[in-house]
Chain A
Amino acid sequence: MKQLNVVGRRLPQHDAAAKAMGQAQFTDDLRLPGMLYGRLVRSTIPHGNILHIDTSAALALPGVKGVLTGKDIPDRVYGIVPKAKDEHALARDKVRYIGDEVAAVVAVDPETAEEAARLVRVEYEELPAVFDPLEAIKEGAPVIHDRHPDNTSVRIHKQFGDVEAGFAASAYVFEDSFYSQAVNHAPLEPHAALASYDPQHGDFTIWTSTQIPYFLKRNLATTMGVPENKVRVIKPKVGGGFGQKLDMFAKDFCACWFARELSRPVKFVYEREEVFQNTRQRHPMYLTVKTGVNKQGKILAQHITAHADGGAYNSTAPLMITLSAFFVMIPYKIDNLIYEGYHVYTNKPVGGAMRGHGVPQPRFAIERQVDLIAKRIGVDPVKMRLLNAIKAGEPHPAGFVINTCGFAESVAAAAEAIGWEEKRGKLPFGRGIGVAGSAWPSGVANMAHLSSGAVVELFREGRVNVLSGAADIGQGAETVICQIVAERLGVPLEDVHITAADTGTCPLDAGTFGSGVTVRAGNAALSAANDVRDQLFPFVADHLHCDLEDLAAADRRIFVKGEPERGMSLKEALKEYQYSDQPVPIVGRGAWVPPADQPTDLLTENGNFAPNYSFMTQAAEVEVDTDTGKVRVLRMVTAHDCGQPINPMLVEGQLDGSMVGGMGQALYEDSTCIDGQQHNPSFLDYGFPTVLEMPNMQDIHIDTDDPLGPFGAKEAGEGTQLAPAPAIVNAIADAIGVEFDRLPVTPAMVLEALKKKADVEKADVPEEGGV
């Protein structure tokens, strides 16, 4: 067992008190002298050409300082994935969905900006629109982007082993279809940006609610047409992201543009409705899964076809579909596999990264089908999962290197905790339990631009200053990084001070996505802390007349391992160090790139996807009100292998949030559209769960110790959101015998299904049927 003091402890986030006292500053809390307020004008049609924009009435409104349209800005497309750029900050010729940005206004106060935006008149030539990906791929469907006449902007075809032979060898082959809906991230903080411009040096500074500052910097520079070093992105506190704050948005560009034009700071804050309609959402997906199994339920071959509804733009499309493909390859060992995926444009709100990016959809399909197959061939669903569970060290068809894997343990632990043996199939009608499993990477290994850097300064008297590019969006990344540094340098957490996610002062970091921050930025911080040790500790070893390797640091002391009294305080050590004219400041530099000897394009090639992989199983117990159709989740268990948790309390926070989020996706949330317009763009109508819906939750830690993660850690941020939905729907099947194949399972659907079932049962026993 490792002897640790700060890592592995349940510590509050370092800024929790500031947040509890209302002192933490989010983007909309910032103000600068002379600040102006912006507002966007959005398309009112789903598809059409812009004929004319009349800004005169808006400009005439007292207090209005400027109006901008797509024609006024450089013709430069942007997007988070370089080869899939297809968006303009403001639409130039064409709008592609309701809410597409066509113009922006700025004014002296928010009220005037809001009024001015309403005065901008846009004339369109309407084009036929298409709202369903299965329609959009048909011959003759309206073309949304000229570059993709079939509306399919990304396609992926992954094949491993011999799928035909696998099916031929199977005792049974089943094909089932599923649908997973559009889900909104709905972070509590609406997106915002505040930009200022220094005309003397041509420097922009933007404070913005982003989870990916360095990518944003690049996108802003390209679209504004300025060198990257002229843009400084600062991330204040961010009120949740979940992937939605990954892209550049019109507010970022327009704030910078107007700040330069007017030489005054400009702030944009989105309305809640804009967050729902005009940022990003989880891709709705149609999936067909064809699976061949032997008599025991061992999967011999699988063929998955997925059509993702991308909405009007690409955003992360290639990455999303790649993740979707690769993560059907774990947590089960499937040697013969085909994944065919299509990212299809429609005239609808835009799909993007969301917690579990591209994977909850196939996970829902596969985990539902495992239960269906188990039922059809008469095996136990838990046993079937165990039979197919992937193990550490096994050769992997796609080339994943899985050093540690607690999947089978997680299945067993979750099943036991939910009471599988006693309850499955044995509860009264209306009550049921279900399980589902999943796996997730700790960041993406082999794509460009994925390094993290860190700088650690050990200051006089033992104050530690950390610079990190990592973007804390509420998950506690900064705290985890500080814990790692504190552990290495033997100081308590409160001695470590971090400045992060400011591209003007911090080292490069890829950003918060793919659940990679702890492993990537944590390892960078660890290596910077080690660099600090390398500078100070030889000096201390000399001083103590001991071997360098024998030194340990804890409680603000450096001492000889096993002989705590033989040592000196850190403060003393630093004083001695400085007084003997050693070089100060002591600054350590660290960098970490996931080991990647594999290719950088997973769309077309294979390789080890991530530095390491986490594994988890969720189990649910539900109660169905057969009168009203309402499903209540009574209990949720998650058994999670996240390696060694750096901070178990923060890990639990991630798991709890993921479970409730997953429950929302299973039962409550659906960003529906009417004629391409989002129907329910408000907290009231979208209705994600409140504390009243929260089930009794249990987190089980599956212990593994990963060789690559800092202190053995793996991800804990996204994986748990993958499988709660199928676990819940599997539990509903156990409760009422109805097999749902689409999300969310609404009370109306449940009641209708129960009625149908009753009708069928009646019809099945004609001799008794009176009516």
Chain B
Amino acid sequence: MRLPKFDYHQPTTIEEAVAALAGSPGARLLAGGTDLLVNMKLRVDLPQTLVGLDRIPGLRGSTQADGRTVMGAKTTLKDIQNDPVLLERYPALVQAARAVGSYRHQTMGTLGGNLCQNTRCRFFNQSQEWRSVRSLCYKAGGEDCHVMNKKGVCYSTYSGDVAPALLVLDARVRLQGPDGGREIPLAEIYSGEGKSPLALGPSEVVTAVVLPENSANGRSCYLKQGLRGSIDFPIVGAAVARFDGGLRVAYTAVDRSPVRAAEVEAELEGRELTGELIDKVAPLCRKAATVTRTTTQPVPYKRELMAALFRKAARTLV
């Protein structure tokens, strides 16, 4: 399957990258390419211009300063696994990086690309030929949602592995745009909409992810359930982190964005974490998201998995 045609820029600074994005509407950043290029081949994403990040120095690797860990957006998922500091401080992050696709995707895939990857749906992530059997779906530029049999809605599912781990670790992201830089909580880059899942400005670039040095005091865990042990996107992925006075819980592959299980967290707040309590609270997990049938997996199964993975992950922190 050939890539559609596009113009290609290889800027050497962030400023140039932002300018290139601003200069051509519909332009997209290209990092590892393992999400974007697939979508372009399938022709669900047709940017006129690609702005490659590969020639911009200083965006890869992590540093510690002022009680914070800063990871460049081009840090690969393999880099994350090989960083002993990250493993000690943020086990959930490393576990999530190890869970993405196959080792090849971890070698090529970047932190920024993983967080900013497109949402997925069984009617969307298909070739143009395959999709031509039905009307164009809402996300691909048409009107219909074939999952819900409705117009003007999209429940395509965010399925990145790393985001839930970072959510429970209180991550913030640094953005660079035409008007300068800003730093916001990770949750705020997600719009919660299936059609355009990112809440970034049109020419904003994620430059780094920032974590508090002592986030969860090293007590966190990410568990993924895929059909196979490699390659596959999560059926459900669950991250938990234990803070003083409570537990944070987040999911991926269950909704249009990665979600925190607020009700579960509230239930656990201030209570001593025991196996019993975990079992008692687990059923609440099923309601933490609007699960729809965007994959071949039945919705009730996904809900069960939300509870099961919570139980397993939380138990590791007792």
Query: Who on chain B is nearest to A113 by CB?
Result: B2
B298 and A748 contacting across the interface, CB-CB below 8 Å: yes
Given contacts A748-B297, A751-B301, A752-B301, contact A273 B229 (CB under 8 A): no
B130 and A681 contacting across the interface, CB-CB below 8 Å: yes
Q: Contacts of B209 on A, CB cut-off 8 Å?
A: none
A687 and B301 contacting across the interface, CB-CB below 8 Å: no
A685 at the interface (CB under 8 A from B): yes
B129 and A748 contacting across the interface, CB-CB below 8 Å: no
Residues 31 to 79 of chain A near chain B (Cβ within 8 Å): 42, 44-45
A542 at the interface (CB under 8 A from B): no
Q: Which segment, of B72-80, B256-264, B305-313, faces chain A? A: B305-313
Q: Contacts of A680 on B, CB cut-off 8 Å?
A: 296
B39 at the interface (CB under 8 A from A): no
Complex Cα–Cα for A342 and B277 (A): 56
Q: Contacts of B129 on A, CB cut-off 8 Å?
A: 42, 118, 273
Interface centre among B231, B235, B296 (most CB of A within 10 A): B296
Query: Who on chain A is nearest to B229 by CB?
Result: A692
Q: Contacts of A630 on B, CB cut-off 8 Å?
A: 225
A693 and B228 contacting across the interface, CB-CB below 8 Å: yes
Residues 124 to 165 of chain B near chain A (Cβ within 8 Å): 126-130, 132-133
Q: Contacts of A111 on B, CB cut-off 8 Å?
A: 2
Residues 230 to 286 of chain B near chain A (Cβ within 8 Å): 230-233, 235
Q: Contacts of A187 on B, CB cut-off 8 Å?
A: none
B181 at the interface (CB under 8 A from A): no
Complex Cα–Cα for A689 and B231 (A): 10
B229 and A628 contacting across the interface, CB-CB below 8 Å: no
Q: Out of B1, B229, B296, which one reaches A679, CB within 8 Å? A: B296
Interface centre among B128, B133, B232 (most CB of A within 10 A): B133
A690 and B1 contacting across the interface, CB-CB below 8 Å: no
Query: Who on chain A is nearest to B131 by CB?
Result: A44
A98 and B1 contacting across the interface, CB-CB below 8 Å: no
Q: Contacts of A118 on B, CB cut-off 8 Å?
A: 128-129
Complex Cα–Cα for A110 and B41 (A): 14
B227 at the interface (CB under 8 A from A): yes
A425 at the interface (CB under 8 A from B): no
A347 at the interface (CB under 8 A from B): no
Given contacts A44-B132, A693-B228, contact A628 B305 (CB under 8 A): yes
Complex Cα–Cα for A118 and B127 (A): 12
Cβ of B79 to closest chain A Cβ, rounded Å:
22
Q: Out of A42, A45, A747, which one reaches B301, CB within 8 Å? A: A747
Query: Who on chain B is nearest to A754 by CB?
Result: B304
B55 at the interface (CB under 8 A from A): no
B228 and A752 contacting across the interface, CB-CB below 8 Å: no
Cβ of A668 to closest chain B Cβ, rounded Å:
6
Complex Cα–Cα for A22 and B170 (A): 48
Per-residue interface assignment for chain B, residues 195 to 219, with 1 indicating a CB less than 8 Å from any chain A CB and 0 otherwise? 0000000000000000000000000
B182 at the interface (CB under 8 A from A): no
Residues 242 to 296 of chain A near chain B (Cβ within 8 Å): 271, 273
Complex Cα–Cα for A603 and B305 (A): 49
B300 at the interface (CB under 8 A from A): yes
Complex Cα–Cα for A747 and B127 (A): 28
Q: Contacts of A114 on B, CB cut-off 8 Å?
A: 1-2
A565 at the interface (CB under 8 A from B): no
Cβ of B40 to closest chain A Cβ, rounded Å:
13
Query: Who on chain B is nearest to A681 by CB?
Result: B130
B229 and A687 contacting across the interface, CB-CB below 8 Å: no
Cβ of B240 to closest chain A Cβ, rounded Å:
15
A44 and B133 contacting across the interface, CB-CB below 8 Å: yes
Residues 609 to 630 of chain A near chain B (Cβ within 8 Å): 627-630
Number of B positions contacting A (CB below 8 A): 31
Complex Cα–Cα for A692 and B128 (A): 32
Q: Contacts of B1 on A, CB cut-off 8 Å?
A: 114, 271
A677 and B296 contacting across the interface, CB-CB below 8 Å: no
B133 and A98 contacting across the interface, CB-CB below 8 Å: yes
A692 and B301 contacting across the interface, CB-CB below 8 Å: no
B122 at the interface (CB under 8 A from A): yes
Q: Contacts of B309 on A, CB cut-off 8 Å?
A: 628
Q: Out of A628, A679, A693, A755, which one reaches B122, CB within 8 Å? A: A679
A628 and B308 contacting across the interface, CB-CB below 8 Å: yes
Cβ of A95 to closest chain B Cβ, rounded Å:
12
Complex Cα–Cα for A273 and B305 (A): 30
Q: Contacts of B311 on A, CB cut-off 8 Å?
A: 627
Per-residue interface assignment for chain A, residues 665 to 689, with 1 indicating a CB less than 8 Å from any chain B CB and 0 otherwise? 0001000100001011101110101
B227 and A751 contacting across the interface, CB-CB below 8 Å: no
A690 and B229 contacting across the interface, CB-CB below 8 Å: yes
Cβ of B23 to closest chain A Cβ, rounded Å:
27
Cβ of A428 to closest chain B Cβ, rounded Å:
18
Q: Contacts of A693 on B, CB cut-off 8 Å?
A: 228-229
Complex Cα–Cα for A755 and B308 (A): 13
Q: Contacts of B228 on A, CB cut-off 8 Å?
A: 668, 687, 689-690, 692-693
Complex Cα–Cα for A84 and B314 (A): 60
Complex Cα–Cα for A680 and B229 (A): 18
A672 and B296 contacting across the interface, CB-CB below 8 Å: yes
B304 and A690 contacting across the interface, CB-CB below 8 Å: no
Q: Contacts of B227 on A, CB cut-off 8 Å?
A: 668, 687, 747
Q: Contacts of B305 on A, CB cut-off 8 Å?
A: 628
A271 and B301 contacting across the interface, CB-CB below 8 Å: no
Q: Contacts of A668 on B, CB cut-off 8 Å?
A: 227-228
Complex Cα–Cα for A668 and B126 (A): 20
Complex Cα–Cα for A692 and B308 (A): 22
Complex Cα–Cα for A668 and B312 (A): 23
B130 and A628 contacting across the interface, CB-CB below 8 Å: no
Given contacts A111-B2, A685-B296, contact A677 B301 (CB under 8 A): no
Complex Cα–Cα for A672 and B297 (A): 12
Cβ of B230 to closest chain A Cβ, rounded Å:
5
Per-residue interface assignment for chain B, residues 169 to 210, with 1 indicating a CB less than 8 Å from any chain A CB and 0 otherwise? 000000000000000000000000000000000000000000
Q: Contacts of B229 on A, CB cut-off 8 Å?
A: 690, 692-693
Q: Contacts of A273 on B, CB cut-off 8 Å?
A: 127, 129-130
B130 and A677 contacting across the interface, CB-CB below 8 Å: yes
Cβ of B47 to closest chain A Cβ, rounded Å:
18
Q: Contacts of B225 on A, CB cut-off 8 Å?
A: 628, 630, 747
Q: Contacts of B132 on A, CB cut-off 8 Å?
A: 44
Residues 34 to 51 of chain B near chain A (Cβ within 8 Å): none
Query: Who on chain A is nearest to B297 by CB?
Result: A748
Complex Cα–Cα for A375 and B133 (A): 48
Complex Cα–Cα for A436 and B3 (A): 47
Residues 672 to 724 of chain A near chain B (Cβ within 8 Å): 672, 677, 679-681, 683-685, 687, 689-690, 692-693
Complex Cα–Cα for A722 and B34 (A): 37
Cβ of B288 to closest chain A Cβ, rounded Å:
17
Complex Cα–Cα for A751 and B122 (A): 23
Q: Contacts of A684 on B, CB cut-off 8 Å?
A: 231-233
Complex Cα–Cα for A630 and B1 (A): 34
Interface centre among A44, A628, A629, A747 (most CB of B within 10 A): A628
Q: Contacts of B235 on A, CB cut-off 8 Å?
A: 747
Q: Contacts of A679 on B, CB cut-off 8 Å?
A: 122, 296
Q: Contacts of A751 on B, CB cut-off 8 Å?
A: 301, 304
Cβ of B275 to closest chain A Cβ, rounded Å:
13
Given contacts A111-B2, A680-B296, A690-B228, contact A627 B308 (CB under 8 A): yes
Query: Who on chain B is nearest to A40 by CB?
Result: B129
Interface centre among B2, B129, B296 (most CB of A within 10 A): B129
Per-residue interface assignment for chain A, residues 710 to 749, with 1 indicating a CB less than 8 Å from any chain B CB and 0 otherwise? 0000000000000000000000000000000000000110
Q: Contacts A271-B127, A681-B126, A684-B233 given; 19 further ones with Cβ under 8 A?
A: A111-B2, A118-B128, A273-B129, A628-B225, A680-B296, A681-B130, A685-B122, A685-B296, A687-B227, A690-B102, A690-B229, A690-B230, A690-B231, A692-B228, A693-B228, A747-B227, A751-B301, A751-B304, A752-B300
- 12 of the cross-chain contacts (CB-CB < 8 Å) are A118-B128, A273-B127, A273-B129, A273-B130, A627-B312, A630-B225, A672-B296, A685-B296, A690-B231, A692-B229, A747-B301, A748-B301
By Cβ-Cβ distance, the 5 closest A-B pairs, closest first, are: A692-B229, A748-B301, A627-B308, A111-B2, A44-B133
